[in-house]
Structure 1
């Protein structure tokens, strides 16, 4: 019998939202949390100066990466019975690699001074 990596993926994905909440002080979850934390006109956090098009694009990309991980990994795990949402090892490793990559950006994030 193959081992299922459901719990590892689910907990790691939830950890992303917790990191954003810790940085920003916000209490929401998922898409709402990421959209507010990374709002273009009034963000709650930063990791670059957002002065150039490249910096703005990178900032948006991190927000979209976090949202994508929630849509692909966290939400199915949260809303589907465990028996119906099995995660094989190779898929779990890919998802966990993306989550690790996202955490590396969160490591560089700081709360906006006015928040």
Structure 2
């Protein structure tokens, strides 16, 4: 038996659910779950809140409230993994205070109760560590975690790009930045002796791969760091989906850099 949720948790869940569903979908969801609507409330949040509150008072437990939430987080309802994970993270952030977490299959499990905002958000962050089937590289998270927890995706993107630059510096020993740093690390020169390499550079194909990765890194800085550095935040609408894209690209670069070595030429 699930203990009753307090009004704060019910209100928080109602806010999220009202953002997930239209008025018509709320009506259909209540009907499907066998939950009667309350005469109180006309906006979506109040409709959800009072219906769940009255059902919980009737049951004297939170079983049907949790069951209703689980219906909405049934993976079968979603065509997009990203949409599912976004809703699951938001709901889990609020359920963390109740010691409940919904897993990726849409099932609940008991966890230690969160006591702080950062702890609750940190729990939901772990849910987002896999995007588009690619595990986010462990070296990236320390750079962007603080901004990510605050939903500050604009500055999180900047910090993600810094993780790549810093890894290049650590690998090479250079202190330059951006395109100059990439050239310092990977430029072949006339003698074809770069500072860093990840293959033997013995064939045209390997040289092409080497040059392509250098250009890929330059493009990464040009696309994601430079615009963020020069454009005022107020003029941008940087969303989680954009940060997810940067995470995927940065992970590809970090994975390649893990297998990069100093050639000893410089």
Q: TM-score, normalised by structure 1?
A: 0.89
Question: What is the Cα deviation at residue 85 of structure 1?
Answer: 3.1
Question: What is the Cα deviation at residue 4 of structure 1?
Answer: 4.7
Q: 1:19-58 deviations in whole A, cap 9, x for unaligned?
A: 1111111111001110121111331111100111221111
Distance 2:203 2:162 in 1: 31
Question: Which residue number corresponds to residue 234 of structure 2?
Answer: 83
Mark the runs of 5 or more structure 1 residues left unpaired by the alignment: none
Single out whichever of 83-92 and 56-65 deviates more from structure 2: 83-92
Q: Does 1:31 align with 2:179?
A: yes
8 A contact 1:47–1:110 mirrored in 2? yes
Question: Which residue number corresponds to residue 44 of structure 1?
Answer: 195
* TM superposition outliers: structure 1 runs of 4+ over 4 Å: none
Aligned to 1:49, what secondary structure does the other structure show?
Answer: coil
Which of the numbers 38, 60, 83 marks the counterpart of 2:211?
Answer: 60
8 A contact 1:6–1:82 mirrored in 2? yes
8 A contact 2:160–2:246 mirrored in 1? no
Question: Which residue number corresponds to residue 17 of structure 1?
Answer: 165
Q: How many residues align?
A: 113
Higher RCO, Cα 8 Å, sep 6+: 1
Distance 1:22 1:8 in 2: 21
CA RMSD of aligned residues (A): 1.4
Mark the runs of 5 or more structure 2 residues left unpaired by the alignment: 1-150
